[in-house]
Amino acid sequence: MAHAKQAAVAEWGALYAAVREQVVRKKFAAVPLATTATLLILLFSIVQHLPGGERFVTHLGVVKASLPLDVSLLRTPLSLYVPALDLPVWGALAQVLLVFGLAEIVLGRRMTLVVAYVCTLAGTLFARVGIALGPEHVLGFPKWVAYVRDTGPSAAVVGLAVVIAFRVRAWWTGGTVIGAMALEVALKPNLAGLEHIVALVFAVLIAVSVEVFGDFWPRVLAGVGAATSVANQARRRAAIAR
């Protein structure tokens, strides 16, 4: 038991300390993004089972590879919150509240949104690539997959779990997530499973880039914002001078 406790502390100690401090101090106010995402999934789940609701949700956030690319790109941010029809919604709610909540505390809101959106978008675009490759390719799909509804938060959840594990150095946890997704594809190769693998690849790339470059890009964005502000002020002064 002593060894198990030491292993648990080594694996999750940093994560537990960070989360406990925020949750004890702020309660649900510590995770407004996770709470909002969970409520959106619940809302879409209720609406799509109302009369006419499925059509409304479809036009708002359902993505299929058969749709024009621009339509898919517009719908992709909301498709993350549209639960799959063939899976229990409570599973999606629990996943999002837990993983998005951990990510919001450990990674910050901006990084959580970036990882969630990039992983979801990568899966959405991969479906088109797989259909273009065709069923004779190991990563290809038959044409009918283009009409499969491709929604849900699973790709974002998988990606966030790996980035969190990377940030807090929970290597066994991250390895378990990756291993579970690989096993899923091996046992049941389908669109969702392969999209999870694609999400993992992009999540690892993001985690490594953040580790290598640190806060380089936030500094660049802050500098661009400051330069824009100075330029706007200069234009206003010039307009007043005229």
Name the pLDDT band for 119 (thresholds 50, 70, 90): very high
Name the pLDDT band for 241 (thresholds 50, 70, 90): low
Q: Assign residue 228 the CATH number of its domain.
A: 1.20.1540.10
CA distances from 189 to 10, 31, 109, 135 (A): 34, 34, 33, 12
56 and 118 Cβ atoms separated by less than 8 Å: no
pLDDT (tens digit per residue) in 28-59: 677 899 999 999 999 999 998 898 888 999 99
pLDDT (tens digit per residue) in 173-207: 999 999 999 998 888 878 888 899 999 999 999 99
Number of domains in the chain: 1
The whole domain housing 86 covers 2-241
Model's pTM, two decimal places?
0.83
d(CA 160, CA 85): 23
pLDDT for 235: 67
Angle at CA of residue 179, ends 105 and 166, nearest 5°: 30
